[in-house]
Amino acid sequence: MIDYAGRLKKIRLKMDLKQTEVAAAAGLSLRTYQRYEYGQRQPTADVLVALANFYDVSIDYLVGRTNNPNMNR
């Protein structure tokens, strides 16, 4: 299973951001972002790109394919 939910929360907390800030930056409603972070919903490719761009990490890092946030960027 893809661990994007855990990664999203870990990155957000490390950057000391609120869910509302991330949701707004990615063009999502707060509830939609919360569902991604809680693992209740899977983000689309477009959302993964937006989140990777916002967090300045690779999509591979977000979905757990690598532990290197800069790999394949």
Answer whether residue 1 shows pLDDT above 80: no
Helix (H, G, I), strand (E, B) or coil at 17: coil
Domains in the chain, please, with CATH? 4-62 (1.10.260.40)
The string of pLDDT tens digits covering residues 19-68 is 999 999 999 999 999 999 999 999 999 999 999 999 999 998 888 888 87
| Residue of higher predicted confidence among 1 and 55 | 55
31-64 in b/e form (b: 16+ CB < 10 A) is eebbbbbeeeeebeeebbebbbebbebbbbbbbe
**Model-level pTM?**
0.86
pLDDT at residue number 5: 87
**DSSP code, position 1:** -
Q: Residue for token digits 């490719």? A: 45
Q: 2 CB contacts (<8 Å, ≥6 apart)?
A: 42, 63, 64
